Structure 1
Amino acid sequence: MIEIDSIGHFPSSPGVYIMKDAEAAVLYVGKARDLRKRIRSYFAASGDSRYQIRFLMARVTDIQFIVTDTEKEALILENTLIKKYRPKYNFNLRDDKTYFSLRMDMSSDFPRLSIIRKVTRDGARYFGPYSSASDARAVLKHLYKLFPLRHYPMETCRRRNRPCLFYQLRQCSAPCHGKISREDYMALAEGAALFLEGKNREILKIFRERMSAAAAAEEYEKAARFRDLIRSIEVTVEKQKVVAQGGDSDVIGFYREGEQLHIALLFLRGGTLTGSRNYSFSWEMDDREGIASFLNEYYNQEVFIPSEIVLPIAIADPLPQEELLSELRGRRVSITVPQRGNKLELVRLAIKNAETAAAERKKAAESGEAILQTLKERLHLHKLPRRIECYDISNIQGQMAVGSKVAFVDGKADKAHYRRYRIKGVSQSDDFAMMRELLSRRFKPGTAPDDYPDLIIVDGGIGQLNVLTHVLGDLQIADVEAAGLAKSRVDREMDAAEISRSDERVFLPNRKNPVVLRQNSAPLLLLARIRDEAHRFAVTYHKKLRGNKLLASQLEAIPGIGIKRRKELLRHFGSLKKISEATLEELRQVQGISATVAESLWKHLHENGKGDTNASPFVNFE
C-alpha cells in the first residue's frame, strides 16, 4: 500500500491521476482540479468511510499523474486513458440494447431521413434515440403521411422512368422527377425536422403563414393542402403528452445497490418524453464521481447532446464539463440540479426508472441462475455452465467454407468473443474435417485456460460430438465439457394422416441415449438460441464471402478493369460493397479510373437496378 508521505510531490494544479497495483496494472483513472488535494482525500487520517475506497487503496502501490493546463483538458485526457486501460474501478459503459436515430442532412438539395446507429458531428440533424429500428421505422411511416419526403437516394430514383409507388400513395413528393420545387421541398423538410424535435407550435405557425400567403395569392389548391397538413399535425399533437416546457433535455436518475450503480436516462425532445435508456455497472467509488464519470464517457460517444442535462445530485466542478459538452455540441449546454417544480418530478421519475431496471436485472439474473442450475443437473455437468460456446460450419459443396464461434456468458450473448473462421485445410465437403480444423484453431497450443468455456455445444448428433471430444482429447483439454444438440426430425408413417416432429435431443459423451429436455422449457430454449445464433453467424459470413466473390467476378468481366484498377478501387473504397454503392461521380474520382471506364463500371454494376412504375397524379406544392 502506498504511503501518504509519497504524494508530497503532487502539484496543486489540474490533471489526471493513475492508480496502479503491484503488477503495474491500472486500477483507476481520475481527474482533479487540484491533484494534491484530491489525492490527499484518499488518505484522510480518519480513513474513508466507504469500504470500497479502503479496499481500492489497500491495493494501490503507485500513483502517477499527468498535469494539464485546464480542467477541460483533464476531462478529455481522463476519457482517453479510461478507453485505453479499461481500469477495474472505472466502469465500462455498456447497455443491453442498440439504439437508433434518424438523420437528415439539411445541406443537400433534397434532404432525406435515414435510420442510423451512431450520431456523428457532421453538421446533419439527428432525432431520437429510438430503442429499435422498428420503432424508428414506425416513426418514419407516420411522418411520411404528414411530410412526403423522398425515401430513397436520388440516383436510385432517377433511374426509374416514373415516380415510385410512394408517390402514388402521396407519401413522397417525387423531387427525383421534378414534381416539387426545391423551395417547397425544403419547407416540408424543415417541418419534418421541427415535428421530430417536438416544436409543433413553430410548425403550425410557419404553415399557417404559408397558407395565408397562398390564399392571398389566390393559390387556393396550395392553401388547401397546407390547411389539410395543419389539421393532420394538430390531430397528432393532441395525442402527445408534453411533460415540460422548453427545448431538448436529458434527465438522469440513479439507484445504488451495493457495488452496482444503475443509471436511467429520460430523453425529452421539445418538452415531450420520447424515450429512455438504462445502464448498470459495477462502481465502487463515490456516487457523485460516478455521475461525473458517466457524463464524460457517455457524451463522448457518438450520441445526441441536448441543450440541458438534468441531474439528481450536484457533481464537483460542473463548469469544465459544461464547457466540454458545449464544444462537442457546437452550442451552449447547461448542467442543472432542480430543487422544485416539473424538472424535479422528472428527476424522480428517472430515479424510479433506475430502481425498476435494477429490480428487473436482479430478477433476470436469478432466473438465469436457475436455468444454468437445471442444465448442470440434467446434463450431469461438473460445474455451472456460466460460459457456453457453440460452433457451426457453413459451405456449399465444400466451397467458401467458413466456421463460427459464439459465446454466451450467464445466458447472454458475449459478442466481444464471437469469432469467424475461413476453413483453409479442407477442400471437399467434409463437415467433420472442417469442424476438426475449426476446433484445433480455437484451442491452439498456448491458449490460456482462463479463456476456456465451461461447456461447448456443437450443432448435430453423435458424429459431430465425437469430433469435438476427440479434438479436446488430442489437445489434452480436460476441463471443458461437451454436448451435441440435434434438431428435431420430421416423423411420418406411410399411412399417417399427420406429420409429427421428434423432440430436440442433447447428446453427451460416452452415453448412447440422448437427454430429452422438456420441449419449450427455458434450458432447452437457451441451448437452441445459442445453436441458432452460431448458425446465423456462420451463414451470414458465408453469404458475405459469396457476395464479395460474385462482385469480384463482375469486376473482372468489365472491359478496362484489370488487376491494377481492381486494387485501386478496393484501396479507395475499402470494400467491394462500397464499390457497388458508389455513385458515378465517386467512381470518377478514383485514381487511374477514366471517365469512360467509370461510366462502364457504373452501368455494369447498376444495369439490373432500373425500374418502371406507373405514373400518379400526386398533387404537389408547386
Structure 2
Amino acid sequence: MVGRALIRDKARKLPTGAGVYRMIDQHGDVMYVGKARNLKARVSSYASGKAHTNRVTRMIGRVHDLIVVTTDTESQALLMEAQLIKRYMPPYNVLLRDDKSFPYILIRTDHRWPQLKKHRGAQNIKGHYFGPFASAGAVNSTLNTLQRAFLLRSCSDGVFNARTRPCLLHQIKRCSAPCVDRVGPEDYQSLVDDARQFLTGKSQRIQRVLSEQMAAASEALEFERAAAIRDRIKALASIQGHQGVTAGDVEDADVIAAYEQGGHTCVQVFFLRAGQNWGNRAYFPKHDSSQSLEEVLEAFIGQFYDSRPAPATILLSHDFAERPLMEEALSLRSPVKISLLVPKRGDKARMVALAQRNAKDALALRMAESASQQQVLTELANIFDLDGPPKRIEAYDNSHISGTDAIGAMIVAGPDGYIKNSYRKFNIRNADLTPGDDYGMMREVLTRRFGRLVKEDPERSRGQWPDLVLIDGGAGQLSAAEAVLAELGIEDLPIVAIAKGPDRNAGRERFFMPGREPFTLDPRGAVMYYLQRLRDEVHRFAIGTHRAKRAGNMSKSQLDEVPGIGPSRKKALLAHFGSARAVAGAALEDLEAADGISKAVARRIHDYFHAER
C-alpha cells in the first residue's frame, strides 16, 4: 500500500490533537515534515485528492510510510517541525541550507584579568556575551575598535601568564598590559565595566565620562593622559559612525525582509543590538517555485531561530497567517516575550524597507552569478561530452606525509556552488598499502564511496550520484579509478583526471579521460578557472583534514593504549615520570610509587610495556 491509499489508512488511526508528521519514501528517506493543530484532519486532507498542486501530488504518490509525533500544543509542534526539517532536510520543505553559527564578543569573567575575545559555539565559558554579529569580519572590526577604546587584553591565559614585558599591543595602545602590572586591578575592572556598558547601549554615558576625564587631565597639565583618553573617544565614535541601520526606540531587534523573483527568494537579516547595527547576512532558502513568499518567510523564521536566541523584537517585511502562533512558539524558548511586527510607517518601516532593498540587490547578484555559472557548466558539459550541465560534481584528492596519517578527501559542487554538508573524508584503512601509494589510496577511497552508492541507491534516484567525477592526477590515477568502477559494474560515470602542468604552472593542466587523448584548455577560459577552483578546494580540504589528523595523533600518548588508564591516572603518571617513554621503561616498584597507582594497576602497566620482553 502506497500513496493516497496508505495515507487514508494511516489517517483513520490518528488522534485529533496537535503534532508533527513525516512522509517517508521507498528508501526510508524523509520527503516532507509538517505540523498540524489536528493531525487526523490535516493528514486526511492529503488523501482527498482535491486542491493539490502538481508538486504535492507527486509527493503523495511517493509516500511509503507516515510517522507521527504528538505534542501538547500547536506551538510545540511548530518548534518540533523546525527541528526535524533541519535534521532531515526533506526535499519538499522550504530549506535553510546555511546553518553556520554566528560569532559573539565575549568578556570572560573566569580570570582575575578578564579577556576580550571572539567566541563561536556553545556559551559554556563564564562571562558576558554580546551578539550575534553577522560575520567574523564584523566581530574582528568591532574587537579592534574596542581594544583601542577600552585597552582590554585579548591574549590567551598561557601567553598572559608567561609575559615578562609588555607586548606589541601595549606599544600601539591597544592593551593596558595587566600582564606586567602596568594597570591596577581596580582601574582594569573599571575598563571592563565601561566596555560592558558600551556593548549594552550606554555609549553616550561612556563618552560623556571620558570627555570629563580628558578635560580634567588637560587642566591638570597631564597632556599624555588626555591624549590617550582622546584616542579612546575617537575609537568609540568610529563604532557609532558606521551603523547604517538604526531606529530611535529599538535597542535589540532582528530585521528580516524577503524578496522574491522568478521563483527564487532572498531573505536579508539585519542584527540590531544595543542600538547598534552588528551586521547583516543574506540567505537563499531552497523551496518550490509555487510556494508563496509568506510561506517561505514563515518556514525561514522557524528554522532560523531553532538553534539561535531570538531578540524581543523581530521586524518583518511580510505578514503571514500564523504569526501569532510563531510568536507563542518562540516565546516558549525565550526568557522574554517575542514580538513579530510588520511595521507600516516610521523608523521601523524605514529599516525594513532598507533590508528589503538589500534582499532585492542580493538576489539580483545571485541570479546573475547563477546565470554565469550555468553558462560555465554548459560549456564544461560540451568539453567533457556530458549529457547536460552537471548538477553534482565530486572531486577527490589524497594527502599524507611519506604515507603516514593518510586520508582521502571528497568535495561536492553544484549549480549553486559548493555543497559543504556533502564533503567527506576517508581515513585510509588498508594496512597492506605501500606507504605513499597514491594509486592504492585512490582505489580504496573510490571503492568505499561508490561501493556504498551501489548498495544503498542502485537506482540512482536519491540525488547522491555525481554527474561528473574529478580526480587529482594523471593517467595512472585515471586507470586506477577506471578499474574500481569496472569492478563495481559502473560503466556510465564520466570521470576526468586533472594533472598539474609543467612546473605546476596553473593554466597548463592536462586532462585525461577514458578513450581520449590528453588535452588542455584555454588557460584564461572560464571553464579552466572553474576547474582550478574545484581542484584547489579539494586540495585545501584534504590538506586541512590531514593536518587535523596528524595533530590529533601527535597529541596521543602510549598510555592511551593501556587498558584501565584514564585521564586522571595518565595525568598522575606523567606528573611522576615526566614522559610516557619514562613510564614505559619504569620498574614495577617505581610504578607503584606514583600517586593514585595501585599495585594491580602498576602490574597491568608493567605487563603491557614488558610483555614481549
TM-score, normalised via structure 1 length: 0.78
Relative to 1, partners in 2 of residues 1:255 and 1:597: Cα closer, same or farther, differing over 3 Å?
same
Letter of the structure 2 residue corresponding to residue 314 of structure 1: D
Counterpart of 1:30 (choices 14, 25, 34) is 34
Residues 102-501 of structure 1: pairs in structure 2 closer than 5 A: 102-106=105-109, 108-118=111-121, 120=123, 124-130=127-133, 132-196=135-199, 199-207=202-210, 225-226=228-229, 228-234=231-237, 236-241=239-244, 243-245=246-248, 246-257=250-261, 259-280=263-284, 281-283=286-288, 285=291, 287-301=293-307, 303-326=308-331, 328-410=333-415, 412-423=417-428, 424=430, 425-444=432-451, 446=455, 448-449=457-458, 450=460, 451-490=464-503
Q: Is the 8 A contact 1:395 1:401 kept in 2?
A: yes
Residue 89 of structure 2 corresponds to residue 86 of structure 1: yes
Residue 522 of structure 2 corresponds to residue 522 of structure 1: no
Q: Is the 8 A contact 2:95 2:300 kept in 1?
A: no
Matched position secondary structure for 1:30: strand
Deviation at 1:298, TM superposition (A): 0.8
Counterpart of 2:541 (choices 537, 542, 558) is 537
Relative to 1, partners in 2 of residues 1:311 and 1:563: Cα closer, same or farther, differing over 3 Å?
same
Deviation at 1:370, TM superposition (A): 1.1
Which stretch shifts more, 127-136 or 139-148?
A: 127-136
Deviation at 1:140, TM superposition (A): 2.1
Relative to 1, partners in 2 of residues 1:564 and 1:433: Cα closer, same or farther, differing over 3 Å?
closer
Deviation at 1:405, TM superposition (A): 1.8
Q: Quote the Cα distance in structure 2 between the aligned partners of 1:252 and 1:598.
A: 59
Deviation at 1:530, TM superposition (A): 1.5
Q: Is the 8 A contact 2:560 2:566 kept in 1?
A: no
Q: Quote the Cα distance in structure 2 between the aligned partners of 1:266 and 1:236.
A: 17
Letter of the structure 1 residue corresponding to residue 551 of structure 2: G
Letter of the structure 1 residue corresponding to residue 207 of structure 2: L
Relative to 1, partners in 2 of residues 1:441 and 1:50: Cα closer, same or farther, differing over 3 Å?
closer
Residue 511 of structure 2 corresponds to residue 506 of structure 1: yes
Q: Quote the Cα distance in structure 2 between the aligned partners of 1:440 and 1:11.
A: 47
Aligned equivalent of 2:566: 568
Which stretch shifts more, 346-355 or 244-253?
A: 346-355
Q: Is the 8 A contact 2:133 2:271 kept in 1?
A: no
Q: Is the 8 A contact 2:255 2:351 kept in 1?
A: yes
Matched position secondary structure for 1:110: coil
Q: Quote the Cα distance in structure 1 between the aligned partners of 2:177 and 2:56.
A: 63
Deviations 1:389-431 (A, max 9, x none): 2222222333332222222223622222222223323133322
Aligned equivalent of 1:609: none
Q: Quote the Cα distance in structure 1 between the aligned partners of 2:433 and 2:124.
A: 47
Which stretch shifts more, 515-524 or 430-439?
A: 430-439
Matched position secondary structure for 2:260: strand
Deviation at 1:91, TM superposition (A): 2.5
Relative to 1, partners in 2 of residues 1:562 and 1:257: Cα closer, same or farther, differing over 3 Å?
closer
Relative to 1, partners in 2 of residues 1:42 and 1:422: Cα closer, same or farther, differing over 3 Å?
closer
- Aligned Cα root-mean-square deviation (Å): 4.0
Q: Quote the Cα distance in structure 2 between the aligned partners of 1:93 and 1:59.
A: 23
Q: Is the 8 A contact 2:138 2:278 kept in 1?
A: no
Which stretch shifts more, 49-58 or 319-328?
A: 49-58
Deviation at 1:524, TM superposition (A): 0.8
Q: Quote the Cα distance in structure 1 between the aligned partners of 2:562 and 2:401.
A: 30
TM-score, normalised via structure 2 length: 0.79
Matched position secondary structure for 2:470: strand
Q: Is the 8 A contact 1:407 1:418 kept in 2?
A: yes
Q: Quote the Cα distance in structure 2 between the aligned partners of 1:541 and 1:84.
A: 24
Which stretch shifts more, 263-272 or 31-40?
A: 31-40
Deviation at 1:282, TM superposition (A): 0.5
Matched position secondary structure for 2:455: coil
Letter of the structure 2 residue corresponding to residue 503 of structure 1: R
Deviation at 1:519, TM superposition (A): 0.9
Q: Quote the Cα distance in structure 2 between the aligned partners of 1:106 and 1:471.
A: 57
Letter of the structure 1 residue corresponding to residue 510 of structure 2: R
- Segments of structure 1 that go 5 or more residues without pairing to the other structure are 492-499, 570-589, 605-622
Deviation at 1:239, TM superposition (A): 5.0
Q: Is the 8 A contact 1:148 1:173 kept in 2?
A: yes
Deviation at 1:35, TM superposition (A): 5.5
Matched position secondary structure for 2:164: coil
- Segments of structure 2 that go 5 or more residues without pairing to the other structure are 583-613
Q: Is the 8 A contact 1:379 1:515 kept in 2?
A: no
Deviation at 1:115, TM superposition (A): 2.6
Matched position secondary structure for 2:566: helix
Report how many residues are paired: 565
Matched position secondary structure for 2:365: helix
Relative to 1, partners in 2 of residues 1:241 and 1:476: Cα closer, same or farther, differing over 3 Å?
closer
Q: Quote the Cα distance in structure 2 between the aligned partners of 1:204 and 1:565.
A: 61
Aligned equivalent of 2:606: none
Which stretch shifts more, 435-444 or 334-343?
A: 435-444
Deviations 1:41-68 (A, max 9, x none): 88999x6597656766677798775543
